């Protein structure tokens, strides 16, 4: 298992455990395009007592995802 999947597994397990205990979360999103036209999205999960997880996802080039009319 590569490092990214290992970290994702740990974080999702921790969030699921806290959620099953009734803890609530706030989620914020940030999306941007790099100078090389790569899209990224950061998902921030804010929990009680200052707990915080930041999850970064990369996508294909931004031009491939443009909706044409």
Q: What is the pLDDT of residues 12-56, one digit of tens each?
A: 888 899 999 999 999 999 888 888 888 888 888 888 888 888 877
DSSP-derived 3-state class of residue 15: helix
Q: Which residue has the higher pLDDT, 69 or 52?
A: 52
Q: Burial, 6: exposed, middle or buried (Cβ in 10 Å; 0-12, 13-18, 19+)?
A: exposed
Strand, coil or helix: what is 24? coil
For residue 11, being part of any structural domain is answered with no
Q: What domain range includes position 31?
A: 25-69
Beta-carbon count within 10 A of 51 CB: 13
Structural domains of the chain, count: 1
Say if 4 falls within a structural domain: no
On whether residue 10 sits in a domain, the answer given is: no
| pLDDT exceeds 80 at position 63 | no
pLDDT at 3 over 60: yes
**Residue 12: inside a domain:** no
The pTM for the full model equals 0.60
52's tokens:
């915080």
């Amino acid at each position: 298992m590569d490092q990214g999947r290992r970290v994702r597994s740990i974080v999702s397990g921790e969030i699921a455990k806290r959620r099953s205990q009734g803890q609530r979360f706030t989620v914020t999103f940030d999306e941007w395009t790099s100078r090389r036209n790569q899209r990224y999205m950061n998902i921030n999960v804010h929990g009680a007592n200052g707990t915080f997880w930041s999850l970064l996802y990369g996508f294909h080039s931004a031009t491939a995802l443009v909706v044409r009319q």
